[in-house]
Amino acid sequence: MEEKDDRVSRQLREQFRGFEPEPPAGSWEAIRRRLDGKRAPAEAPREVWPLANWWQPRRLYPALAIAGLFLITLFIWLAVKPSHQIKGQAFIDQTELTKGTAYLFRIHDKQAPYDSVGLLRKTELDSSGHFLFEDLPSGSYLLRIHTGHDEVNGQRDLHGYYGDQLHWDSARLLSTDHPQDTYVIRIPKNR
């Protein structure tokens, strides 16, 4: 009887060894979640140095993406950065101005009326009539000089535009695309 039981047990064992039913869907995900939950507190202290294992894809790729984004932004900023300058000297006839103000207007359309053009910058002339505007965005400009009053040097209140013109609509435009080393502007003394 016992012998028979052993034989039957062996056969049953063999039969059940081949019994491999498919576990229900989602079993692994449930185990995974529990494993992750268990591991989380153990992993936390390992992050002693934030840059440890920086070469691992999960750290390296985001770092490379951020660096790339930074470089692209830098290039764009350098490309559009205002980097032009306009410098020149103002005269009354052949005499350097000793006093006065230079006004720079950014202009998009030469036909636009003067009062629609915004003043970009102004600067005082030095004692020999020099002026300088730096870090300008590229574009076209209108330059106006106001002489101011200087009794010592016989200067009266006069003004004029680049191109030695009295009126804005006949003035010449300055362009950063074709810059000159020095712009010379002469204001007629006798009007």
**Count of positions on this chain that bind another protein (CB under 8 A):** 25
Length in residues, the chain: 191
Which lies closer to another protein via its Cβ, residue 19 or residue 77? 19
Least distance CB 54 / another protein (angstroms)? 19
Window 7-36: contact mask with another protein (x via CB under 8 A): -xx-xxx-xx--xxxxxx--xx-xxx-xx-
Cβ-based burial of 168 (10 A; exposed 0-12, middle 13-18, buried ≥19): middle
Which lies closer to another protein via its Cβ, residue 46 or residue 167? 46
Which lies closer to another protein via its Cβ, residue 1 or residue 44? 1
Taking residue 174's Cβ as centre, other Cβ atoms within 10 Å add up to 23
- Taking phi first (over 0 means left), then psi (-120 to 50 degrees means alpha), and beta for anything else, what does residue 101 get? beta
Least distance CB 4 / another protein (angstroms)? 7
Under the binding rule (CB under 8 A), the answer on residue 181 touching another protein is no
Alpha-carbon dihedral sign for residues 115, 118, 124, 126:
negative
Least distance CB 9 / another protein (angstroms)? 5
- Both tokens of 80, joined, read 């559009």
Amino acid at 72: I
Least distance CB 32 / another protein (angstroms)? 7
Q: What is the DSSP letter of 135?
A: E
Q: Which residues make up the interface to another protein (CB under 8 A)? A: 1, 4-5, 8-9, 11-13, 15-16, 19-24, 27-28, 30-32, 34-35, 38-39
